[in-house]
Structure 1
C-alpha cells in the first residue's frame, strides 16, 4: 500500500511538472505580413502629442471639434494613414510669460510607427502645422521605444 501511494504521488508530480513546462498554445496575430501589421517589431516607437484646444471652462473659445478633425484629416492622417488614436484630455499649461497655469481642453494623439528619419520628420511637421495654425508656443511630444505586434 505504501508503494502504491509513492507511485501515485510520483505520477501526480510528473503530471504537474509536465503541465508547468508544456509550451503555450501557438497563437498568431490576425493582422500581419506587411510593414503596417508586423508580427514582431524592431525599432518602433510610441509617440504621444498633446494639443491644447483652448480654455477648459470656455468651450466657445479655442479650437472646435470640427476644426480639430479638419486638422487631423489634413495634417495627421495623410502622414500616418495606418492608424492612430485620439483621446480627449484635460490638462494645464503655464506659458513663459504667465504667472499661473492655464486649464486646457486638449487632445492626446498616440501614434506607433517605425523609428525612421522620415517618420520623425512627419511628427515634427505635424507639430509645426499646429503651432502655425493656432499660434500655440508648444505641442508636447513624448516618444519612447515600443514593442508592437498586431
Structure 2
C-alpha cells in the first residue's frame, strides 16, 4: 500500500511454481497491476476470465519455466495458447544468467519449437509495451513502431 501511495506500480511474482490462488492473492490483497509469470492461471477458468477482462499483464518467462520444471519441455509451454485466449501475455527473461536464456533466446525458442508466427511475435511485443511503466507518449510511439 505504501508503494502505491508513493506512486509505484505494484507487481508480484505469482502463479509460476505456486498455485492459481497466489495470483488471486496478488490481485486482491496486494492490488498488483502486473503479474510476473502467472502461467498457472490456466488451471482456473474464473481467473482466466478476470485476467482477460482486466487485461492484466502477465510477464511469462518460457525458458525459466523449463529450467524450474514448471513444464518438462518447451513443446508443452502454453504461452501461445494463452495469447489465443486473450490473456495479456508478454515474453520475458528471468534472471537469464542463472536460468539461461536472454529475451531473444526466449523468442527464438518460441519460434523454433512452438512455431510462433510474426503476428504472434508482434502481439507479444505490443503486450510487453502496454504492460510497461513508461509514459504514455513513449508507449504510443513504440506501439506504432511494432505495427509498422
* TM band (smaller chain): under 0.3
The structure with higher relative contact order (CA 8 Å, sep 6+) is: 1
TM-score (normalizing by structure 2): 0.21
Larger Rg: 1
Task: Considering fraction of residues, name the structure with more strand.
Answer: 1
Per the normalisation by structure 1, the TM-score is 0.21
